[in-house]
Amino acid sequence: MSTANIFILWAASTTEVTLSPRSGGSGEPTYNPRANVTLLPGSGVANGTMTANIRCENCLSTWPSSESGDTAVAGFEMDPNGNATEWFWACQSGEMLGTDDPSADLGMHDDKGVIMFDLSRARFPVEEGVCLEGVNPFV
């Protein structure tokens, strides 16, 4: 996971979530302010479920290092039309973290796994009257 782009999400309050983009490494992932990510409207906590609508401007390759600003030497390139892209997930149970500081110290996850996404089918809705039926946000 040394070149991983990591989206970490937690409850900052009973209704708000915090998005912390982090870069992988050999220890706890570190907050990376050079990740160009935005938490969009509609994100939050409702009925015990956290939702994050995220826009990422530089997610097709390893994010620039938070220290140097250079891209990692052994980075990755994501295929925006890949029909089987591998994504890792992890979660931690317990009390909400209760902070909106994206560089907050985190505990170790309780569970983890891998999920496959078909990015070639990724779409977002477009306004009525626009000629496109849907646009792949990765290309």
Angstrom distance (rounded) from CA 137 to CA 123: 6
What are the domain boundaries of the chain?
Answer: 5-65+77-121
Angstrom distance (rounded) from CA 119 to CA 133: 16
The per-residue pLDDT for range 63-99, each reduced to its tens digit, is: 776 554 444 445 677 888 888 888 888 899 888 888 9
List beta partners, residue 77.
61
Give the global pTM. 0.76
| Structure confidence at residue 60 (pLDDT) | 80
**Token pair of 132 as six digits:** 């496109």
Please say if the pLDDT value at position 14 is more than 50.
Answer: yes
Please say if the pLDDT value at position 16 is more than 90.
Answer: yes
The per-residue pLDDT for range 18-76, each reduced to its tens digit, is: 999 998 877 788 898 988 888 988 999 999 899 998 888 888 887 776 554 444 445 67
Architecture of domain 5-65+77-121: Sandwich (2.60)
DSSP track, 4-15: -EEEEEEESSSS
101 Cβ neighbours under 8 A, 6+ residues apart: 18
| Structure confidence at residue 23 (pLDDT) | 85
